[in-house]
Structure 1
Amino acid sequence: MGKNIFFIRSANGQVIEQLVDYIKNKHKNENIKLYCLIQKSSVKSFNEKYPSIKCIESEDGFFKYSVLKNNKELLHKLNDFQFDELYIPSSYGDYPDFNEVFLICSKIKNDKTILYNCYGETVEKKLNFAYIWIDKNLGEAIYFFKVLFALIGISLIYLVCYPYYFVKRKLFDNI
Structure 2
Amino acid sequence: MSKKILIVRSANEIVIKKLINYIIVTNENNIELYCLVQKNSVKLVKNIYPNIQCFIINEDNFNYNQFKKNKNLINEINENKYDEIYIPSSYLYLNNFNDIFNIANSINRINIFTFTADGNITRIKFNKLNLKLNLLFGEYIYFFILVFKIVFLSISYSLKMLLSLVLYIHRRVKYK
Whole-angstrom distance in 2 between the partners of 1:129 and 1:79: 19
Residue 38 of structure 1 aligns to which amino acid in structure 2? Answer: V
Whole-angstrom distance in 1 between the partners of 2:31 and 2:129: 31
Aligned to 1:14, the other structure's residue is in SS state helix
Consecutive unaligned residues in structure 2, runs of 5 or more: 156-176
Whole-angstrom distance in 1 between the partners of 2:129 and 2:80: 22
**2:103 is the counterpart of 1:115:** no
Q: Is the 8 A contact 2:40 2:60 kept in 1?
A: no
CA RMSD of aligned residues (A): 2.3
Q: Is the 8 A contact 2:39 2:56 kept in 1?
A: yes
Whole-angstrom distance in 2 between the partners of 1:141 and 1:118: 25
Whole-angstrom distance in 2 between the partners of 1:78 and 1:107: 10
User: TM-score scaled by structure 2?
Assistant: 0.77
User: TM-score scaled by structure 1?
Assistant: 0.78
| Aligned-pair CA distance for 1:129 | 3.0
2:32 aligned residue: 33
2:5 aligned residue: 5
1:80 aligned residue: 79
**2:18 is the counterpart of 1:21:** no
Q: Once the two structures are superposed, what CA deviation does each residue of 1:50-91 show, in whole Å capped at 9, x if it has no partner? A: 011111111131100011011111111121111001100000
Consecutive unaligned residues in structure 1, runs of 5 or more: 155-175
Whole-angstrom distance in 2 between the partners of 1:40 and 1:136: 23
Whole-angstrom distance in 2 between the partners of 1:43 and 1:130: 33
2:174 aligned residue: none
Aligned to 2:32, the other structure's residue is in SS state strand
Identity percentage of aligned residues: 35
Whole-angstrom distance in 2 between the partners of 1:91 and 1:141: 23
1:157-172 to structure 2, matched below 5 A, reads: none
Whole-angstrom distance in 1 between the partners of 2:71 and 2:49: 26
| Aligned-pair CA distance for 1:135 | 2.3
